[in-house]
Amino acid sequence: MKRAVVLAGCVLVGLAAGAIWTTAQSDTYRSDGRVLVRPGSARIVPAVEALAESSLVATNVAQTLHLSSPPKISAKKGESGVLTVSASAGSRERARQINAEALVILMQKVSQRFRAVGVTATVLDPAHVAEQTSPTTGRNLLLAGLAGLVVGIGTAAAMSRPRVTSSTAAVADPRVERRLKTRIDQVARRERELAQRAGQLAAREHDLRRREQEADRRPVPEPEPPPAPAPEAAPAAAAPATEVPPEPVATAPQQAGGWTLPALEALTRERSGSASPEQREEWSTYLFFLREHAAADGALPSSFDQLVNDVFGPLPPRDE
């Protein structure tokens, strides 16, 4: 619908431009007159035609009618030695006067120049206004309308062309997008589970340390003196004290540092020359979705290492 409106608007603009063009043109009328040339041979008629269009006839017409500049006289050869002489002017009467004077001067020049070879020129049809040659309303509107139509078609085609987004745009295929989001969500879920487990271990470690500190602050009771041994009984041997080994303290697993988005972007730029367009598009899509799980400095959790290695591998060794 939008393309149709754009197309119609361009055509209307073109027609408006054609109307302005027509208004700016000045009025021009053409007058015609016919002359019969005898003999009508293939050599004589072209010679008379050239004489009619020469500056000699135009200059004489301008002098006779007191014109500011010589008018444009044209001649067209017809059948059987008939020659059509035409003249143009800004009004009907002026065009007829120029044409009539051109015919008179042409008769005189033919009589002067071709008398020796027996050439004659006779007026068959006197000067008369044939048509208005300017402004050409129909032609102007047609050309301007076609120009507007071409511009409208080009604009509509440009609007219908799919826009190419930046390198961080998602894949156009919804199935690929769902598959990528599912895989990234799985990795994010595993990351949350590991973080929850690490938090539980850290809380347990903190509780054990607190208990150890409380045990260290308790006063050690003084040992009671042993009872006096009976005279008949031998003193009982003191039982050796058994030491209870301390309970091992669980510690939270330490996570190694993962990859960063700037490092992956630099790696994809280095390999873009040898990678296929599909692989470059997959790299761009993964980089887009991984931004949701990256830290402020672009660092990715270590739980994403396997996913990064599958998508962007083989990867160079990281600096620890």
- Give, in order, the Cα–Cα distances in Å from 109 to each of 39, 59, 149: 16, 13, 52
pLDDT score of 168: 44
Nearest to 283 by CA among 302, 307, 317: 307
Window from 207-216, 220-229, 234-243, 255-264 with minimum mean pLDDT: 234-243
pLDDT tier for residue 185 given thresholds of 50, 70 and 90: confident
CB atoms within 10 A of CB 219: 5
pLDDT score of 86: 94
The answer, yes or no, to whether residue 166 has pLDDT greater than 90, is no
Nearest to 103 by CA among 81, 130, 128: 128
Q: What is the pLDDT of residues 54-103, one digit of tens each?
A: 998 999 999 999 999 999 899 998 888 898 999 999 889 999 999 999 99
CA distance 41 to 320: 105
The answer, yes or no, to whether residue 244 has pLDDT greater than 50, is no
Residue partners of 309: CB distance under 8 A and separation at least 6? 315
pLDDT score of 256: 40
Report whether the peptide linkage leading into residue 135 is cis, meaning its omega lies within 30 degrees of zero. yes
pLDDT score of 231: 53
Structure tokens at 187: 């990795």
pLDDT score of 254: 31
The b-or-e profile of 225-253 (16+ CB within 10 A means b, else e) is: eeeeeeeeeeeeeeeeeeeeeeeeeeeee
The answer, yes or no, to whether residue 286 has pLDDT greater than 60, is yes
pLDDT score of 38: 86
Cα first-last separation, the chain: 59
pLDDT score of 240: 47
CB atoms within 10 A of CB 207: 10
Which residue bears the tokens 């990678």? 275
The answer, yes or no, to whether residue 165 has pLDDT greater than 70, is no
Segment 235-254 mean pLDDT: 41
Residue partners of 208: CB distance under 8 A and separation at least 6? 247, 249, 250
Q: What is the pLDDT of residues 218-241, one digit of tens each?
A: 665 666 666 655 555 444 444 444
pLDDT score of 316: 67
- The Cβ-side half-sphere exposure at 267, using a 13 Å CA radius, reads 18
CA distance 85 to 33: 5
The answer, yes or no, to whether residue 198 has pLDDT greater than 70, is yes
CA distance 286 to 282: 6
Q: Model pTM greater than 0.75?
A: no
Q: What is the pLDDT of residues 33-61, one digit of tens each?
A: 999 988 878 888 898 899 899 998 999 99
Write out the DSSP string of 62-94: HHHHT-SSPPPEEEEE-GGGEEEEEEEESSHHH
pLDDT score of 75: 93
